[in-house]
Structure 1
Amino acid sequence: MTGKCQGGTPPAPGELAELTGSATSRPGVLFVWTDIPGEDEDDFNEWYNREHVRDRVLRVPGFRRARRFVALDPGPRYLAVYLTASTAVLSSEAYLAIVKEPDPSSRRFIPRFHNTMRVVAEVMAAAGEGEGGFLRLVTLALDADRAAELDDWIAGALLPGEVQRPRMVAASYLSRAVAAEGVSRNNHLRSGDSSFERALLFEATTEEAARASWRASESEAAAQLGATVTASATLQMVFGLSREGEARP
């Protein structure tokens, strides 16, 4: 089930995209939420912004954009969300080439990630347009027998309703892509990272609005459909890069 925004076209996270509702055409997402030792933090951020993100977004066909966030709550501190044309990009020869043969900086930093959640996912549904500087992240575990009901409720009711709230600008619903994730994990420097079955990303223009986007009533409604919240956090965007050139003011 893929939810549609006004006009019948679902936007990708943080931007409008011309996409159909079929599973084969859904955008892909690489989601990496991690901590890094404090003594490495400054170098880690410089590497991530100046090398790691650029190597993927600007050099691997099918990567569209990346955004990085820093957590405002306890838990993993840094989140990177990469948007791709589809999940197939994340098991493509071009992407696996840089995963299998990481550069020296990647070999330095990636093994030092800890408390890490790394997921290959697809965008099941999205609503709104634009992007917000603050993000509310909620990850879910499912009752497989009720997953379709949950997906319908989130795509058809929750997301469209959330983006109508003041200072909320966009919302996305992600589903883990198990096959594509397996290919990526099997060739990666790291192993044993955690995952999610579903994730919600709510974007807002203020921290307060982001924090208000998932309330006790939503948790209760999700629980009635067999879903359990496994993690949640409010984060602030700190860096972004798109494949297409952007005009500067």
Structure 2
Amino acid sequence: MPLLGKATMLLSFDIVPDTIMEHDDWHTHEHLPERLAIPGFLRGSRWVALQGQPRYFVMYEVESLATLVSDAYLQRLNNPSPWTSKIMPSYRGMVRGLCAVEASYGVGMGHTGLLIRFDADADSKPGLVRWLNKEVLPPLAMQLGLGGAHLLQAAAAPPITNEQRIRGADASFGMAVLVTGYSQSSIEALAEGALSTRLLGAHGARNVTQAVYRTEYTLTARELEAWRGHIC
């Protein structure tokens, strides 16, 4: 199981172009370490679009959904640092989901990923989940160029916090699929083949969005702890 916990938080967004360099500096040197210091946060990764939109995809892997509504996490969200308060107004089109890991196949995390977000009506959702879990996702982890496939379901509503008030209201989604691998061409082929918008729609998905990303930066709680122990 390549994902490190039983839940994830997925964020997709754009940034005002003039702020991109400072955003990446802030996100690398302050924001990710701040988040990974919260109990239950296991790994954070920032991805940049190679194909499709929006520009950024950020994923936090956490121990459980309880981590994402914990007092420690909400305390950080309601008390943003001065640098965070400066960067947040530059966010555009934030889509955010607190997700349970419905299924996870493979080992490790590839540097290229296909992120698909979608909704499903109550009547069509069971069949869609069954199709993805039984027919589509399990074999992908062993295909040439690929390494992991994950089905995520939004399972909690993000609370309104001071950080969100600064950047504006977040949009949401119902479900997501993330497939990662080492071959960009293999990842891109999925978007036109086994995980195409047409096939997903035929099995009940709606409001489907797709984008291909590459990892730009990754940090784990264990790495952060080791670094802090080294400098103390």
Both structures adopt the same fold (TM-score exceeding 0.5): yes
For residues 106 and 245 of structure 1, what CA distance do their matches in structure 2 show? 22
Match of residue 164 from structure 1: 142
For residues 144 and 220 of structure 1, what CA distance do their matches in structure 2 show? 20
Change (3 A) 1:92 1:12: farther
Larger deviation, residues 71-80 vs 196-205: 71-80
What is the alpha-carbon root mean square deviation over aligned residues?
A: 1.9
For residues 115 and 127 of structure 1, what CA distance do their matches in structure 2 show? 30
Matches within 5 A, 1:225-244: 225-244=203-222
TM-score (structure 2 length as normaliser): 0.89
Match of residue 113 from structure 2: 135
Number of aligned pairs? 222
Could you list the per-position Cα deviations for residues 121-144 of structure 1 after superposition, in whole angstroms to 9, with x for gaps in the alignment? 111111011110101111112121
1:177 aligned counterpart, secondary structure: strand
Match of residue 23 from structure 1: none
For residues 212 and 200 of structure 2, what CA distance do their matches in structure 1 show? 19
Equivalent in 151, 167, 178 of residue 201 of structure 1: 178
Q: Per-residue deviation at 1:217?
A: 5.0
Q: Does 1:119 align with 2:94?
A: no
Mapped contact 1:123–1:174 kept (Cα < 8 A): yes
For residues 113 and 138 of structure 1, what CA distance do their matches in structure 2 show? 21
Question: Unpaired segments of 5 or more residues in structure 1?
Answer: 1-10, 18-26
Q: Per-residue deviation at 1:53?
A: 0.6
Mapped contact 1:129–1:170 kept (Cα < 8 A): yes
Amino acid at match of 2:20: E
Equivalent in 119, 123, 126 of residue 148 of structure 1: 126
Matches within 5 A, 1:180-199: 181=158, 183=159, 185-186=160-161, 188-189=164-165, 190-199=167-176
Q: Per-residue deviation at 1:221?
A: 3.6
2:51 aligned counterpart, secondary structure: coil
Amino acid at match of 1:143: D
Mapped contact 1:162–1:213 kept (Cα < 8 A): no
For residues 217 and 48 of structure 1, what CA distance do their matches in structure 2 show? 34
Q: Per-residue deviation at 1:156?
A: 2.0
Amino acid at match of 2:49: A
Match of residue 64 from structure 2: 86
Say which structure is richer in strand: 2
Q: Per-residue deviation at 1:12?
A: 4.5
For residues 194 and 70 of structure 2, what CA distance do their matches in structure 1 show? 41
Amino acid at match of 1:211: E
Amino acid at match of 1:192: A
Could you list the per-position Cα deviations for residues 160-209 of structure 1 after superposition, in whole angstroms to 9, with x for gaps in the alignment? 12112101000111111234x2x2x3553344222211111010102111
Mapped contact 2:99–2:154 kept (Cα < 8 A): yes
Could you list the per-position Cα deviations for residues 61-90 of structure 1 after superposition, in whole angstroms to 9, with x for gaps in the alignment? 000001110001242111110000011101
For residues 209 and 94 of structure 2, what CA distance do their matches in structure 1 show? 12
Mapped contact 1:131–1:204 kept (Cα < 8 A): yes
For residues 220 and 233 of structure 1, what CA distance do their matches in structure 2 show? 15
For residues 65 and 118 of structure 1, what CA distance do their matches in structure 2 show? 17
Instruction: Provide the identity percentage.
Output: 27
Larger deviation, residues 155-164 vs 215-224: 215-224
Mapped contact 1:138–1:229 kept (Cα < 8 A): no
Structure 1 segments of 4 or more deviating over 4 A?
Answer: none
For residues 216 and 130 of structure 1, what CA distance do their matches in structure 2 show? 23
Equivalent in 36, 40, 49 of residue 19 of structure 2: 40
2:84 aligned counterpart, secondary structure: helix
Equivalent in 186, 191, 196 of residue 214 of structure 1: 191
Question: Unpaired segments of 5 or more residues in structure 2?
Answer: 227-232
